[in-house]
A = this chain, B = another copy of it.
Amino acid sequence: MSRKPVIPGVDRRQQILDAALEIFAEQGFEAATNKAIAERAVVNQGLIYFYFASKADVYFATSAYYTEQVIAQLDAVFAQVHEASPAEGLAQLLRGIMLLLSTPPASHLLRIMYQVAGSRTPAGELSNAEERRAISGLARHLTQRFREYLEARISRKQFNALNPTLVSYMLTRTLIATVTMRGQGGMAQPDLNSLAETMAALYAYGFLPRSEQSHPE
């Protein structure tokens, strides 16, 4: 009966995107229902179709929107790495990224991306086909940043000459997975900072001891 008053300054489309990020992260694309999204957004279910062409379209729009946000945050983390020492810089970088990726919205985004990534891409009408390819943009972007980071240090002889393409690929997967899968498998979920420290140490010096005299840590 009563029409919800249009509250100025409240963007219903944005409300829907916010709700969708959460619901998709919690339930996955298939299990998430428009009803749940609409309720979380405190919005009429039909309104979703005023702003989006389909459920899949909501998914893609949500992914694209938050991918952009998280990429910007990621760039900020890379920009802040100070070059005190390569070892310290690496530790700082890993810590920063892990913290970022384990906090919403990035953590939600990773969840919704990697649930779907495993299965088929959602089908459905889209209002903006561009967004479809934006989805994998986060991993691609992170890999790219890692490669630049590695190449810079390798060329300065600060890092060993490992294949930067493969290593950046690996680092990306490792970070995303470590963060996304944290707390699964029934084990105590490890502290993020300890994890970052340990990763940094491992990546800096490796498993093998440095000749008799060199003793890391």
**A interface with B by C-beta (< 8 Å):** 25-31, 85-88, 90, 111-112, 114-120, 133, 136, 139-140, 143, 153, 157-163, 165-167, 169-170, 173-174, 176-178, 180-181, 184-187, 190, 194-195, 198-199, 201-212, 214-217
Of B111, B133, B181, B198, which one neighbours A177 at CB under 8 angstroms? B181
Task: Supply 6 A–B pairs (Cβ within 8 Å), ascending by A.
Answer: A159-B207, A165-B190, A166-B194, A170-B178, A174-B174, A176-B177
Copies per complex? 4
Which B residues are CB-close (under 8 A) to A115?
28, 115, 118-119
Given A165-B190, A208-B159, also A201-B216 (CB < 8 A): yes
Known: A28-B30, A198-B166. A160 touches B114 (CB 8 A): no
What B residues does A28 contact at CB under 8 A? 28, 30, 115-116, 118-120
Residues of chain B lying within 8 A (CB to CB) of residue A160: 201, 205-209, 216-217
A202 CB contact (under 8 Å) in B139, B153, B162, B185:
B162
B27, B133, B195, B209: the one contacting A186 at CB < 8 Å is B133
CB distance from A191 to the nearest CB of B (A): 9
Neighbouring B residues of A112 by C-beta, 8 Å: 118
A36 to B190, CA, bound (A): 39
Given A115-B115, A143-B187, A206 contacting B209 (CB threshold 8 A): no
Decide: A169 and B143 in contact? CB cutoff 8 A.
Answer: no
For the complex formed, measure the closest distance between the CB of A207 and the CB atoms of chain B, giving whole angstroms.
4
Q: Point out the residue from B27, B86, B114, B170 that lies within 8 Å of A174, measured CB to CB.
A: B170
A143 to chain B, nearest CB (A): 7
From the candidates B27, B111, B133, B204, name the one contacting A207 in the complex (CB within 8 A). B204
Cβ of A157 and Cβ of B209 under 8 Å apart? Answer: yes
Task: Kindly report which residue of chain B lies nearest to residue A161, judged by CB atoms.
Answer: B217
Closest to A172 in B: B185
Contacts of A136 in B (CB 8 A): 184-186
Q: How far is the CA of A120 from the CA of B186 in the complex (A)?
A: 14
CA separation between A31 and B153, bound complex, in Å? 45
